Amino acid sequence: MSDIKDAALTIFHEGKALENSATWKNRQLLGNHLAALLAALIFVAHSLGYNIPLDQSQITLIGSVAGGLLASANSFLTVATSCKIGIKPRNAAIA
């Protein structure tokens, strides 16, 4: 089990990246754009008088959870798809 955990955490090390980084970066951008589009569509629908069956606290909760998940995914993908940033391995010398 420790080997699986170590292998999974390797992508967070500085100098390591996923093999298909461009694909993951494109998916990251797509997720950002879809989230922004969904928020804009809800705002426009509400402005045009469409009844959205959610109260303000429910909309805030959904937005907060979605924002937190999107921020976490963005952080993960940014580190996992770049060789230039990440966690220094344990045996790396401290400068």
The answer as to whether 58 is a domain residue is: yes
- Taking phi over 0 as left and psi of -120 to 50 as alpha, with beta for the rest, 12 belongs to alpha
3 compared with 82, residue with greater pLDDT: 82
The answer as to whether 87 is a domain residue is: no
The answer as to whether 95 is a domain residue is: no
The answer as to whether 37 is a domain residue is: yes
Provide the domain count of the chain.
Answer: 1
Confidence of residue 30 (pLDDT cuts 50, 70, 90): very high
pLDDT, tens digit, 9 for 90 and up, residues 36-94: 898 888 878 878 988 888 887 888 888 889 889 989 988 888 888 888 888 777 765 55
The answer as to whether 91 is a domain residue is: no
Q: pTM of the predicted model, to two decimals?
A: 0.65
Closest CA to 8 of 80, 65, 85: 80
- Its domain, for residue 69, covers 2-80
The answer as to whether 32 is a domain residue is: yes
Residue 46 has a pLDDT of 79
The answer as to whether 65 is a domain residue is: yes
d(CA 88, CA 75): 16
The answer as to whether 85 is a domain residue is: no
